Amino acid sequence: MNDLLLSFRVNKHDSQPIYLQIAQVIQSAIKDKLILPGALLPPAQTICESIGVSKMTLWQAYRLLEHKGYIETRRGIGTLVLGARIEKHLPGMLSFSEEVKARGGNPSSKVLSLVVGLPSQDAQKFFGLKAGELVYEMKRLRLSDEIPLAIEDVQLPQKLFHDFDKFKWEEKSFYKVMEDFYGVKLLRCDSEIMATSANKEQAGLLNLTIASPLLIINRKSFSADDVPVEFSITYYSGNCYIATYNSFRQ
């Protein structure tokens, strides 16, 4: 990618502004995976001298790419490639692993914690649990091609999912295990979407700066028998995700 970018020559006779030409070259390289998320672009001075543009022109290209979520400039580090944003289609009910695989990525997980304990107040109400009934709560860092994209916190009733902690959740898709092992077929979910900023812990896990934007999706899932089976909160990196939905006028 460095060779591609440094050997690029702008077309000054093109009606398209020079900064757009530069932005398109970088954007295409990211989409075609000629440069992977996590990589650093060459120093600005090196790029400007190589392709013969001013820093102001290069910064215009960078601002456009940052707005689209492809790169992020970090003080003391440089310009980091984030990759193309993953489209989170809200009416759909795909797991994280299914979403990543559908886009040609390689999903993986890091289990942050897996415990049996009392549910949160909201989860207890959703599941209709009696006082003292327990849930499994699992927190995982979700990655695509080794790049951290989301932090997932899932609660589910212990009485429905015995031995939930025996699985290797670094490798398993929760929805697939739910359907294949427990025989629970998922039918629908209710989702809420909110925005927040990353705290210190979240920023560290997602390789973000503190106060970076996060997309939060609260999901309440039901089985085909209309039984509440999953209560989850997932924090997505705002630089890597964009939420979409379809609406119809009634």
pLDDT one-digit tens code per residue, 51-93: 889 999 999 999 888 887 788 887 777 888 876 666 555 556 7
Question: Whole domain around residue 169: which residue ranges?
Answer: 86-244
| Kind and range of the H or E run holding 243 | strand 241-244
Please give the Cα distance from 157 to 178 (Å, whole number).
12
Residues 68 and 187 in one domain: no
Residues 235 and 132 in one domain: yes
**Strand-strand pairing, 241-244 and 86-89:** parallel
- Counting the structural domains of the chain, the total is 2
Q: Which residues contact 101 (CB under 8 A, 6 or more apart)?
A: 107
Is residue 250 one of the residues assigned to a domain? Answer: no
Cα 170 to the center of its chain, rounded Å: 17
Two structure tokens written together for 4: 């591609």
| CATH classification at residue 225 | 3.40.1410.10
Tens digit of each residue's pLDDT (9 = 90 or more) over 203-240: 999 988 888 889 899 999 999 999 999 999 999 987 76
Q: Is 81 left (phi over 0), alpha (psi -120 to 50) or beta?
A: beta
Residues 222 and 100 in one domain: yes
Two structure tokens written together for 207: 């390789």
Cα dist from 57 to 27, 33, 41, 62, 231, whole Å: 16, 24, 16, 9, 48
Please give the Cα distance from 238 to 78 (Å, whole number).
19
Residues 191 and 119 in one domain: yes
Residues 70 and 90 in one domain: no
pTM: 0.68
Mean per-residue pLDDT for 119-145? 95
Residues 73 and 175 in one domain: no
Residues 126 and 40 in one domain: no
Residues 219 and 134 in one domain: yes
Residues 93 and 212 in one domain: yes
Last residue of a domain, one of 35, 58, 81: 81
Handedness of CA 21, 27, 31, 35 (dihedral sign): positive
